[in-house]
Amino acid sequence: MRQLPPLSDPSYGFSPTPFGECCIAFSNDGICALTFPETRESALRDLEHRFPETDFHQNDEKAARLVRSIFEKTKMPRLNPIGTEFQLSIWNALQQIPAGKTTTYALIAEAIGRPKAVRAVGTAIGANPIAFLIPCHRVIRTDGSLGGFRWGLECKKAMLEWEKK
């Protein structure tokens, strides 16, 4: 397993969003995870899996402030995605997709200069640790169907509709 960089003052919290309750993890370095788990327990297991050496502290107040700023669009928080160089290149490409628009896995592969890496692109998109802010929900299949989404297709549809407003 690769060594993760240490997080400065790592915390997490739960907060309501337009798409259900989220779990957001953050440090002084920025947001490192934003998920829409089925349960709080599954969210904590996910954090432990992603950051095995990190001792997160629960801070629902700060989580609520961050989430409010995200969904009221008052301020784009700093992100701290942690992944491989390839994953980071994909996640950066996802952030270039305008709100309310979609693109395909193949176009993302082309955008990073790896047109034959469509499957690897899909895998990297599926590993996105910061849902919504790194907008993996904006990626659809070439045939126009929604494809998969870790948090469920209903959540993906809701995000796309919300962004169109």
State the catalytic residues. 136
What's the CA gap between 52 and 141, in Å, rounded?
Answer: 33
What's the CA gap between 33 and 83, in Å, rounded?
Answer: 11
- Identify the H or E element spanning 160: helix 153-164
Closest CA relative to residue 24, chosen from 77, 75, 73 = 77
Q: What is the secondary structure of 45-94 as a DSSP string?
A: HHHHHH-TT---EE-HHHHHHHHHHHHTTS----B-----HHHHHHHHHH
